[in-house]
């Protein structure tokens, strides 16, 4: 068993990561952590989003990229192969994840870009299954695919692949429905480690907050916590909150469970759901619905009114 997991981690850039995701996904599913949210439409969408980029998009980008780069940069092949591995690893961690932070953040802050990233936030659950859930346009223009290809050509292939493997593990575990970070908050002797961990990398608590369906519970923070591998960027740019808690709900308040093909290939295919952001005449950004009034207990009785009042 130990040798098997050693092989998995040694082959993260090829078959290792899919196997790891499959194992953890089976654990999540067997524990019932997806509850009743994983409908047929959601299953198809998650599977398509996971497989197509890996077997079609990224291989094609890498293949044609390595054919194209010698034409435009003929004298730079392997120019950085003298760089020590760990220096290359350190530089790439920053270059790779910082560019993704801004790519991700812009898709939340620029209305025109939101619908290309919306698919990742439509899932009403967290888990391995939805970690790769993205619109195909978002995936095609994803900067890291081109960056990794270019770095391999320039001679930083090993550090680039190593960074990719480590990052894949961190981001996959951050999306997991298993709160593996919880013991770090509950056990006092682990608190110092938790303080560093939650500020350095994305954890379930910090990243789940980004996928919350509301900010009203004081935990959700879908307009922040943009970090992928490193949560450090949110600390530096002031977009992060740390509560050590998990949101009460996930996804979009206005989610209509649009057809999987519309979520995956919008605007090539559009949803038939009226009023959807992905429909032919839908809004660019759908506002959250007006909250239904809820009963709260008044501290002091008011003459002529019940102690239960509507806010």
Residue-range definition of the domain harbouring residue 95: 2-178+250-310
Q: What average pLDDT score do residues 204-210 get?
A: 95
User: Residue holding tokens 């009042």?
Assistant: 309
pLDDT band at 37, cuts 50/70/90? confident
Calpha distance 107→103 (Å, rounded): 7
pLDDT band at 289, cuts 50/70/90? very low
Preceding peptide of 143 cis, ω within 30°? no
Q: What average pLDDT score do residues 218-241 get?
A: 93
pLDDT at position 285 is: 85
Calpha distance 241→243 (Å, rounded): 7
Residue 206 lies in a domain: no
Residue 38 lies in a domain: yes
Calpha distance 173→171 (Å, rounded): 5
Angle at 125 between CA 123 and CA 127, to 5 degrees: 105
Q: With 60 as the cut, is the pLDDT of residue 210 above it? A: yes
- pLDDT tens readout for residues 143-175: 677 888 888 888 888 888 888 888 888 998 999
Q: What average pLDDT score do residues 277-294 get?
A: 68
Residue 233 lies in a domain: no
Residue 264 lies in a domain: yes
Burial of 130 per CB tally in 10 Å (0-12, 13-18, 19+) = buried
Residue 194 lies in a domain: no
Residue 235 lies in a domain: no
Whole-model pTM: value is: 0.82
Residue 64 lies in a domain: yes
pLDDT band at 187, cuts 50/70/90? very high
Mean pLDDT, rounded, of the chain: 83
Q: How many domains does the chain divide into?
A: 1
Residue 170 lies in a domain: yes
- pLDDT tens readout for residues 298-310: 333 333 333 333 3
């Amino acid at each position: 068993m130990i040798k098997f997991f050693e092989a998995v981690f040694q082959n993260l850039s090829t078959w290792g990561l899919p196997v790891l995701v499959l194992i953890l996904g089976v654990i999540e599913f067997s524990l019932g952590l997806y509850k009743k949210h994983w409908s047929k439409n959601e299953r198809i969408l998650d599977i398509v989003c996971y497989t197509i980029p890996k077997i079609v998009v990224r291989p094609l980008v890498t293949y044609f990229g390595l054919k194209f780069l010698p034409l435009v940069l003929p004298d730079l092949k392997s120019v950085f192969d003298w760089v020590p591995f760990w220096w290359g690893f350190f530089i790439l961690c920053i270059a790779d994840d910082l560019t993704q932070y801004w790519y991700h953040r812009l898709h939340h802050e620029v209305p025109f870009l939101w619908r290309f990233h919306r698919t990742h936030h439509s899932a009403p659950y967290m888990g391995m299954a939805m970690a790769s859930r993205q619109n195909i346009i978002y995936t095609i223009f994803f900067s890291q695919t081109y960056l990794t290809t270019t770095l391999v050509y320039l001679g930083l292939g090993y550090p680039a692949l190593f960074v990719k493997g480590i990052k894949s593990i961190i981001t996959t575990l951050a999306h997991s429905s298993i709160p593996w970070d919880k013991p770090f908050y509950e056990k006092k002797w682990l608190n110092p480690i938790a303080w560093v961990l939650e500020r350095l990398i994305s954890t379930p608590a910090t990243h789940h907050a980004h996928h919350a369906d509301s900010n009203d519970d004081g935990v959700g923070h879908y307009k922040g916590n943009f970090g992928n591998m490193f949560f450090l960027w949110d600390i530096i740019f002031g977009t992060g909150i740390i509560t050590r808690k998990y949101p009460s709900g996930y996804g979009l308040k206005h989610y209509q469970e649009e057809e999987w093909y519309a979520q995956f290939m919008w605007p090539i295919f559009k949803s038939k759901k009226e009023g959807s952001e992905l429909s032919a005449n839908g809004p660019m950004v759908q506002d959250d619905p007006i909250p239904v009034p809820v009963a709260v207990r008044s501290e002091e009785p008011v003459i002529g009114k019940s102690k239960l009042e509507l806010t």
